[in-house]
Every structure is written in C-alpha cells, then in structure tokens.
Structure 1
Amino acid sequence: MRRNDWLTPEGTRDLLFEECAAKRYLEERITGIFENYSYSEVITPGIEFYDVFNGKARHFPPETMYKLVDGKNRLMVLRPDTTMPIARLCATRLRGEELPLKLFYNQSIFMVNPKDSGRDDEFEQSGIEIIGGENEDSDYEALFLAAKALCECDEDYRLEIGDSGIFGELLSQYNYSDEQQTEKLRVNIEDKNYPAIDAMLGDDKSNEALRTLPRLFGGFEVFEEARKRLCGEAIEKKLARLEKLCRELADIIPEEKIRVDLGLVNKKNYYTGIIFKGYVEGYGQPVLSGGRYDTLIGEFGGREAKAVGFAVNIEAAAKVYLKNKGKTLAKTPDVLVFSNDKIAALKHCEKLISEGLSVRNFNGACPKCAEKFAKKHGIHRLDVINENGDAESREV
C-alpha cells in the first residue's frame, strides 16, 4: 500500500532553498514595480463560495476547481483565479471608492490540471487590476507594466497581444451558437490545435476566417494579412485600435519584444477586449497573462466598471530565472557564531545583526566542528565566544 504521508498531492511540490529565494526575489522586484506606480495591495480569501466562479461571464469548469463543503453544507472552492474575487471586492467593499482603482496582489491560486500536463495545481501570482480606467490609457499602462515585470524574470521575453473581441465577432458572423462547441473551439484556437479546428469546422468555406485566426501571428505585418482574410466593420475597428496600440507601445517597449497574435482568445471567457500573454526564453508556457474585462464587475451586482489587469506566475518565473540566470540567491551568512553558552551566542548574534551583518548560530558540539561547517558552506568568519563571554573572530 502506498504511503501518502510521504508524498505531495499531484500537481504540487515542495520548494527548497534556491527556489524559495528566487521566488521571493522576483515577488519583491515585481511588487516594487507596482508600488512605484502607486498601486494598493489587496488580499482576498483563499476559500471562496463556488458561486463566485459560476456566473455567466465568469464560468469556471467545475472539474478544474478544488471543491469542499463548509460547516453549513455550502459548496466552497479553493480560489482558482484572482481577478474574479477582486471583481467581487470592487462590487462590494470598494463600491464607494473613487475610480480608477489601482490594485495589486500576491496570492496563490489552485486549479486541477490534467495529469502529466506539466502545470502546477498550486502557484502564486503577482498581478495588478486597473478598475474604472479609460480604455486606452489603462491598456497602455497595463501592457507597459507587464513588459517591465517580464524583464525582471528574463531580458529575453516576448509579449503577445491580441483582441478577444475578434473571435466573438467571427462567431456572430457565422452563427456559431452552440455553447459547448464554442468553448471547445475557443480552447483549440488558443492552443493552435489545427487538426482539431479543421475537424470542428469541416469543409464549410464560410468558416475560413475562424480557421485562419490562429495562423495570424507574428510582427506588425500581421495586421495587413488580417485585413485580407477577415472582414466586417466591427473587426476592422478592432484591428485599427490594436494596431495603433501596438505601434505606440513600440516607443516604450522594444518592437522586437511585441508579437501580434489574433488567435489569442483565452480560455477564460470574461475577457472583452485586448488580451495578452508573456513568455520568457526556455519556458514553453506563458509566465504572464492578462486582458481587458469590461462586464465582470457589473455581474456581481455592483456598479459597472471597465477594467484591465494581468498576473505573473511567480513559481514559473522563478524556475526560468534560476535556469537562465544561474544565480545563487540564497544568502551566505557573514558570520558563523559558536559558544557553549547558548544565551551568550544569541546575544552576540543580536549584536552582529545590529551592526548590519547576517549570522548563523551554530548548534554543534565544538569549535572545530563549527570551523569545518563554515568552510563547507563558504562562511568566511567564525566568532567563538569564550567562557568570559568575549568573542574571538577567526578568518575561515
């Protein structure tokens, strides 16, 4: 019989030493960006009512959520998304606050992923939400801050930008109204699963634009190609605005970092406008995702407020950072302290810390053991406290 008390659940893992240091480093660096732009931090509960994630524009497939029942037999979930709880917060406790609100967060989310998908079921996100801002101004700011956050993870990054509304317009043009099939098609286009797309759309030539959508990917030349293949006044307006946004962003983000992806539709169906994902070298999954959601907050019964935001997967970013940078982030102590008098040792540690040094209190049996430990771990100073309480510093 397999002993589960030795294991972590599927989709979860223990983080050790360098991984923790990289995670904390990136969280602090990215949070610093948000604080420099005067975003305010919020924290929402890790446990939410199931209903928060089961509305019209905020539907999460039940099989992707960790569910539990509270003491009153009400269905609860571990938070699978941060945007929806913040939308709930804005519609309730923050409903009287002056708009726009600029919020940031650092918190974990929990999602059931397919076995062997390579994705973690639990991971931390650092992100922002701009609530109530005008479309263009807040889109520019969100995308610029997203690029800055990606650069903290790795300088070799790319930011892929699309508009979820184009997919919606094509669906309405071709009367593709079956909800389940629509969601399957959304997922297949997002994943660029061409055989599955062809199987769903068949040989019907009227669906050619939908079939083409995931292939409209690349540099700014995509806009010219899209105008040849996609038609309709509403789509042209979206293309024009997206092109303007991307070209103007190239003044503050290197153009080679920006990619246009009109097949970016996202599996979360609350997005209503621009949508974007961030990638870094050496990691096949996005480490950042976000977009505009203009109807979500109103669905919670509060005031209507347009919004845009994004989140960074800190665990994924930390993996990439350690792999690409090869940096040692776990700090080596400045001083190792040894004394047979453990109270004296702790007092000396406090004295050194007050002088701005980092310390490690050695709990071994003798000074020679302490010296051996210091050499092994690269600690260059050993303070041995004698019976009189005086410290003798040794260079190791």
Structure 2
Amino acid sequence: MKISKPRGTRDFLPQDTKKRRNVENILRQVVRNWGFNEIITPTFENLELFTLKSGEGIIGELYNFRDKGDREMTLRPELTAPVMRMYVNEMQAYQQPLKLFYFENCFRYERPQKGRFREFWQFGVELIGSNKADADAEVIALATEMLRSTGIKGDLHVNNLGVIRHLLSVLEPEQQSRIMRLVDKKEDMGLDEFLEEINAPADLRMKLLELICLTGEGAIAKARDLIGNIPEIEAFQELLTLLDIYGVEYTIDFGIARGLDYYTGTVFEIYAEGLGAQNQVCGGGSYQLIKLFGGGDVPSTGFGLGFDRIMEVCEIQAPDDIPVVIIAKDSTRPDALKAAIRLRPHMPVYTDLMKRNFKAQLSYANNIGTRHVIIIGEQEVEAGKVTLKNMESGEQELLSIDEVILKLGHKQ
C-alpha cells in the first residue's frame, strides 16, 4: 500500500535541503552578529495560549487535539505567543533588553495554495524590554539585513499605529479594532460601510480615509497638517531618523495596520518581487503581549520572516559538497576505510558499500559528478600513498594522505 504525505506538507530532497540549510545558516549568522540568542519552544502548546492572543475564532485554523490527560493542546501556529509564554515562565529575571531569535516549523489548518502550506517555517526575532525608537530601528534594520544577506531586495513599508489610534481615540475600543482590521485588509468598501454604520463623525471619516492613503515623501508633513503635531508623529519621525542612519530604504505608509490589537506603535511589512499577490515576506512591529500571559507590562518588538516564501525567490545555491570517492580493490578495502577516517574531518568522502569492481566504482564516481577520486591498490598500499585523480583533467598524482588534505581540504 502506497501512503502519500499529508496534504499541505512537503518532502525536501537532498539538494533542496542543502539549499534550505545553507540559507538558514546565513540568516542565523546575521542575527548572531547583531547579538541575538537562539531559543527553542515546544512544538505543541496549551490551546489557551493562542486563544488568549487571537480569540476563539483561531481554533478553526489550528491542528488542535486533546491529549491522553484530556488537556486541550495544539501544534503551534506561530511563535511569538510561545516566546512570550517562555519569558513569563522562565526569563523575567533576565537582564533587559532580551534579544532572542528562533527558527522553527509551524502548523495551520488552511487551504493549501501557492506559497501557503499547512506546515511552514518561520524565522523570527523578539526584542523584549525596550519601548525606545532605538529598539524598533534595530529590529527593522536587522530584518532588511537578513533579506539582503539572501540576495533579496525587499520593499519596506513602515508606519506608527499611534497616529491612527490617536485619531480613532474618540470611538469605542471594539470599533477601533474593527477599523484597524479593515484598514489592514485594504477593504476600502467595508471600511466606508462600517464608518457609516457606526455614524462616525464626518470630520473623523474624512481624516481617516485621507490618512491611510498617505505614503512616501512628504507623508509626515501631510499627517501633521491633517492631525496636528501630536507626540505619536514625533515618535515616528525619531524612528525614521534612526533608519536613515542605518542606511535603510523605506516607504512611509500610513495604511499599514497589521490588524491586531496588541500592536502598539511601530509596524512594518516587507515585500519581495517574484511572489505574485502573496509577496509579503516579513511583518512585525512593537507590541504588548506579556501582560496578557501573566507577566508585567513589558514592551516588545519583533518580526517574523516567511522562510518558505524567501526560498521561492532566493537564488543562493546549495553548497558544493560532492564527496571525494575512494576506489579500492577487495584486498585494499581496509586501507580505504582507514584513509576515509583520516580524510573525513577535512572533506566529504564516499567509500564503496556495494562491493563493486574497479570499473563500476569509477562509473559511480562519474555519475555523481565528483571532481576527484582516490585510488588505493596494492602498489599504493606498498608505497604508503594513494593516487589522486582529477576527473576533469584526467591528471593523476601519487600523494600521501596529508598531501591530499593540503590539496583538497575544505575545497570540495
């Protein structure tokens, strides 16, 4: 009986896995160089962790289940909530700010489509303990540097939700939340209908619709003319000044809302070419979640990178680690194993496991595209050396193992 993989999941073949690991390691090195430390959270959590953060409606999107103790559990659909839970459980006494990152698989029960899977990977960063513009600027600059390191040119859009929240402060909290979600989804008709439904003041409606259309150069000045010189605009300007120092290119976009109540100020999204309509590869901002999970009123800022979307457009190739192939006769197989043991700390090495004859071993080496083979026959054993053959030029040299290491080590 043939069993297929579950819908919405993928198998990664060796070459795909090499490329993914290579890009993953590039991203890891960048975040480590910025002083962030890696953490790992459980693959499944208590269901309540995510319903507290996102409401009961999220259950339909989850792989949730009852365990043998009749506890409601779920596979993690994202990683910000688990990190906040970890902070409350175990890290409140740590020196702040905490600079954390993670790279893990997540699960959502949704209709699979191009760029969307039921199992997907997220690379994320959380900076906990600072509500300063400096923290937001560093996180945004880091996100752009991570994308740059993979060869992806991202289009960064940035906003400060304090501005729109200031404008909406005369409305009920539930009404503000609904408006933010409609703005986030770019549902202009729905937004207009809802403002009509709640009988929002005409002046507020006019200013809101104009504000969320402000983008690019001059947007800050136009926002000041529209709303006044409020502190939230000054805070936004401070962030932009820091981004200029970092050399980050950005577009001011007062229509970026993120649509979630826990975002408090800075929000940003990054889009990449080549992904069609689903072109967002990164999103984040400053938020307050720790208090919701039983901790203090601790500010945080962070982002999540959609690793699978990055891999769709990333042109970085898998590392070239084609092994050196050792070819031996039956009588010299023990010597081939000893040579492999010496060589493997320095390079990938393949020894024959099929007891093929000399010609078949050479054919295998050709088929996998190896650049070099090491031949160990009776004459080589007697001389205490090996024959190194360049498969492209046909050139052969009689060398010691140490000489082979000097010639090929870490070059394969």
Normalised by the length of structure 1, the TM-score is 0.84
For the 8 Å contact 2:183–2:259, the answer to whether it is kept is no
Q: Counterparts in 2 of 1:275-314, with a 5 A limit?
A: 275-283=267-275, 284-293=278-287, 295-314=288-307
1:8 corresponds in structure 2 to 6
Q: Does 1:66 align with 2:58?
A: no
User: Which of residues 307, 314, 324 in structure 2 aligns to 1:335?
Assistant: 324
Match for residue 216 of structure 1?
Answer: 214
**2-structure distance, mates of 1:276, 1:305:** 20
Query: Where does residue 96 of structure 2 map in the other structure?
Result: 99
Kept in 1: contact 2:324–2:350 (CA 8 A): yes
Aligned mate of 1:131, from 128, 139, 164? 128
Contact (CA 8 Å) 2:133, 2:238: kept in 1 or not?
A: no
Q: Does 1:374 align with 2:365?
A: yes
Counterpart contact for 2:270–2:281, Cα < 8 Å: yes
| Match for residue 251 of structure 1 among 221, 230, 245 | 245
Pick closer, same or farther for the CA change 1:59–1:347 going to 2, 3 Å. farther
The Cα of 1:92 is off from its aligned counterpart by: 1.6
Provide the rounded CA distance (Å) in 1 between the counterparts of 2:57 and 2:79. 12
Cα contact 2:273–2:279 (8 A) shared by 1: no
Please give the secondary structure, in 1, of the residue aligned with 2:285: strand
Please state if 1:142 is matched with 2:139.
yes
Q: Is the 8 A contact 1:53 1:60 kept in 2?
A: no
Give the one of 219, 223, 227 matched to 1:226.
223
Name the count of aligned residue pairs. 378
Relative to structure 2, which stretch is displaced further, 45-54 or 164-173? 164-173
Once the two structures are superposed, residues 290-345 of structure 1 have per-residue CA deviations (whole angstroms, 9 ceiling, x without a partner) of 2111x311222222211111222222212211xxx3x4314242511234556554
For 1:383, which of 374, 394, 410 is the aligned residue?
Answer: 374
Equivalent position of 2:29 in the other structure: 32
Q: Match of 2:24, SS?
A: helix
- How far, CA to CA, are the matches of 1:340 and 1:123 in structure 2? 47
Q: 1:268 to 1:119 in 2, by over 3 A?
A: farther
Change (3 A) 1:314 1:239: same
Identity of aligned residues (%): 26
User: Which amino acid is the alignment partner of residue 360 of structure 1?
Assistant: Y
CA distance 1:164–1:382, change in 2 (3 Å): same
Q: Which residue of 1 is the match for residue 187 of structure 2? A: 193
Q: Is the 8 A contact 1:334 1:379 kept in 2?
A: yes
Runs (5+) with no aligned partner, structure 2:
392-412
* Structure 1, unaligned runs of 5 or more: none
Relative to structure 1, is the Cα distance of residues 132 and 372 closer, same or farther in structure 2, using a 3 angstrom cutoff?
Answer: same
**Offset of 1:155 from its aligned partner?**
4.6
Paired residue type of 1:361:
T
Does 1 or 2 have the higher relative contact order (CA < 8 Å, sep 6+)?
1
| Partner residue, 2:253 | 261
Distance in structure 1 (CA, Å) of the matches to 2:27 and 2:15: 18
DSSP 3-state at the match of 2:91? coil
In 2, distance between residues paired with 1:80 and 1:40?
22
Q: Distance in 2 between matches of 1:14 and 1:214?
A: 42
TM-score, with structure 2 as normaliser? 0.81
Cα distance, 1:223 vs structure 2: 1.8
Name the Cα RMSD after superposition: 2.8
Change in CA separation of 1:394 and 1:137 when aligned onto 2, cut-off 3 Å: same
**Contact 1:58/1:270 (<8 A) preserved:** no
Matched-pair contact (CA < 8 Å) for 2:181–2:260:
no
- Go from structure 1 to structure 2 and tell me whether the alpha carbon gap of 1:174 and 1:299 turns closer, same or farther (over 3 Å shift): closer
